[in-house]
C-alpha cells in the first residue's frame, strides 16, 4: 500500500472494515477466545468483545499483559494483534500462548511476530504497511469479526448494511454540514478536559475517544462507563490542576446523576439503536473530532514522541 496521510487513512475506515469482513477463514473449534494486544492494536479486540458479550456461547477475554492466563490450553484460541509486530508485551503473549499449546492467529503488518508465527506454523493475517497503527482499526475489527464467524459466533445484524451505512455517515462527516457539527463539538471542548462516559456495552468506544484525543490532540482526557464513573475523582483532579471539564456522554444517560458535578455537558447521538452500528459510527465521529481538535491546537497528529520514548525505555530494561 502506498503511504497515505492520516486524513486519507481516517477516510478509508469503512472501506478497510468492509474488505476485512470478507476475509475467509476455515472453521475453528475452540472453548475460549483470547483477544491479545496493546495500545491501538488492542482496541479492536475490546470493541469486538463488546459486540459479542451478550450473545457469545464461549468466553471472550481481552488480554493486555506480558502473557496469557495460566489456564489457557489447546482448546483456547489466542488472537494476537500487533500492527508493528514488535511490541514487547504482545510478543510475550505470543510466547506464553505457544507454550500452553493454544491455537494462534496473528494480525500484523510484519515484524518479529510475523517471523515467529511463520516459523512456528501459525496463521498470519497481514495488515497493509505504512499506516498509523491506530488507523488500522478498520482492518483489525473486520479481521477479528471474521475470526469470530469462523468460530461459530453469529452477528444479529447484516454487517454489509452496516458498512454501507458507515460509508454514508463518512460522507456526511466530510460534508459542510458534518464539518459544522464537528466544529461545534470542538468549540464546546475548547480549553476543557473531556470526560467521555457511555453505557457498559460501549466502554471500548469511550476508551477509543480518550486514546484518540491523547494521541492525535496531545491532550488529557478521561473515560468511563455510566455504572462505574467516579465523578468525585475526576472533578477533584480538575480542581487541583485548575482545569475546566466537559462531560461528554455517548447515547442515552441519566442526567440527574451527573448534573450536579459537571457544569458543561454535551451528548453524542449515536444515530442508531443497534449496538454494532452505533459503536462504529461513534468511533468514526470521535476519530474525526480528535483530528479537528489537533488542527485547532496546531499539533501534528502523526507525532507520538512520548510513546516512542516509552518503548525505547522498555527495550533498555527488558
Helix (H, G, I), strand (E, B) or coil at 125: strand
Supply the DSSP string of 135-170, one letter for each residue: G-HHHHHHHHHHHHHHTTPPPSS-HHHHHHHHHHHH
**pLDDT at residue 309 tops 80:** no
User: Mean pLDDT throughout 120-124?
Assistant: 97
What is this structure's pTM?
0.90
Low-confidence winner among 50-54, 111-115, 183-187 (lowest mean pLDDT) = 50-54
What distances in angstroms separate CA 307 from CA 4, 39, 70, 314, 317, one per listed residue? 21, 10, 29, 11, 16
User: Mean pLDDT throughout 167-172?
Assistant: 97
Helix (H, G, I), strand (E, B) or coil at 111: helix
- Of the candidate CATH numbers 3.30.565.10, 3.40.50.2300, 3.30.930.10, 3.40.50.10490, the domain formed by 6-150 belongs to 3.40.50.10490
Asked if CATH classification 3.40.50.10490 holds for the domain at 176-297, the reply, yes or no, is yes
Separation CA 103–CA 94 (nearest Å): 11
**pLDDT at residue 1 tops 60:** no
Over residues 8-26, the pLDDT tens digits come to: 899 999 999 999 999 999 9
As annotated, the residues of the chain forming the CATH 3.40.50.10490 domain(s) are 6-150, 176-297
Of 225 and 177, the structure prediction assigns the larger pLDDT to: 177
Supply the DSSP string of 57-78, one letter for each residue: SS-EEEE-SSS--TT--TTEEE
Over residues 241-299, the pLDDT tens digits come to: 667 888 899 987 655 555 555 568 888 988 888 999 999 999 999 999 999 999 998 98
What is the sign, positive or negative, of the torsion defined by CA atoms of 150, 156, 159, 163? negative
Separation CA 119–CA 136 (nearest Å): 25
3-state DSSP: the chain helix, strand, coil percent, rounded to 5? 50, 15, 35
Q: Look up cell 464513573; give the residue.
A: 229
Supply the pLDDT for residue 133: 87
Question: What burial class does residue 254 get, using C-beta atoms within 10 Å of its C-beta: 0-12 exposed, 13-18 middle, 19+ buried?
Answer: exposed
User: Mean pLDDT throughout 54-67?
Assistant: 92
Q: How does residue 236 score in pLDDT terms, banded at 50, 70 and 90?
A: confident
Question: What burial class does residue 241 get, using C-beta atoms within 10 Å of its C-beta: 0-12 exposed, 13-18 middle, 19+ buried?
Answer: exposed
Separation CA 298–CA 291 (nearest Å): 11
Supply the pLDDT for residue 100: 97
How would you label 273-296 residue by residue, b for 16+ Cβ within 10 Å and e otherwise? ebbbbbbbbbbbbbbbbbbbbbee
Are 298 and 216 in contact by the 8 Å Cβ rule? The answer is no
Supply the pLDDT for residue 242: 65
Over residues 85-106, the pLDDT tens digits come to: 999 999 999 999 999 999 999 9
Amino acid at each position: 500500500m502506498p503511504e497515505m496521510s492520516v486524513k486519507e487513512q481516517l477516510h478509508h475506515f469503512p472501506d478497510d472494515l468492509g474488505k476485512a469482513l470478507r476475509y475467509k477463514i476455515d472453521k475453528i473449534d475452540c472453548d475460549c477466545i483470547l483477544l491479545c494486544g496493546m495500545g491501538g492494536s488492542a482496541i479492536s479486540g475490546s470493541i469486538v468483545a463488546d459486540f459479542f458479550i451478550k450473545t457469545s456461547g464461549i468466553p471472550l477475554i481481552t488480554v493486555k499483559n506480558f502473557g496469557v492466563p495460566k489456564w489457557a490450553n489447546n482448546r483456547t484460541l489466542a488472537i494476537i494483534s500487533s500492527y508493528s509486530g514488535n511490541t514487547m508485551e504482545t510478543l510475550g503473549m505470543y510466547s506464553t500462548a505457544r507454550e500452553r499449546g493454544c491455537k494462534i492467529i496473528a494480525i500484523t503488518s510484519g515484524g518479529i511476530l510475523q517471523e515467529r508465527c511463520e516459523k512456528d506454523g501459525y496463521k498470519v493475517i497481514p495488515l497493509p504497511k505504512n499506516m498509523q497503527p491506530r488507523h488500522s482499526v478498520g482492518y483489525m475489527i473486520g479481521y477479528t469479526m471474521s475470526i469470530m464467524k469462523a468460530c461459530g459466533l453469529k452477528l444479529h445484524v447484516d454487517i454489509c448494511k452496516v458498512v454501507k451505512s458507515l460509508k454514508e455517515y463518512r460522507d456526511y462527516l466530510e460534508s459542510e454540514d458534518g464539518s459544522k457539527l464537528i466544529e461545534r463539538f470542538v468549540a464546546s471542548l475548547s480549553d476543557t478536559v473531556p470526560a467521555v462516559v457511555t453505557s457498559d456495552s460501549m466502554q471500548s468506544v469511550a476508551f477509543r475517544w480518550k486514546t484518540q484525543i491523547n494521541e492525535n490532540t496531545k491532550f488529557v482526557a478521561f473515560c468511563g462507563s455510566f455504572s462505574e464513573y467516579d465523578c468525585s475523582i475526576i472533578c477533584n483532579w480538575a480542581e487541583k490542576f485548575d482545569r475546566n471539564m466537559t462531560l461528554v456522554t455517548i447515547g442515552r444517560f441519566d442526567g440527574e446523576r451527573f448534573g450536579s458535578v459537571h457544569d458543561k455537558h454535551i451528548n453524542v447521538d449515536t444515530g442508531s439503536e443497534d449496538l454494532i452500528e452505533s459503536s462504529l459510527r461513534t468511533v468514526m465521529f470521535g476519530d474525526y473530532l480528535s483530528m479537528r481538535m489537533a488542527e485547532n491546537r496546531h499539533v501534528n497528529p502523526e507525532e507520538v514522541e512520548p510513546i516512542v520514548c516509552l518503548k525505547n525505555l522498555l527495550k533498555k530494561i527488558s
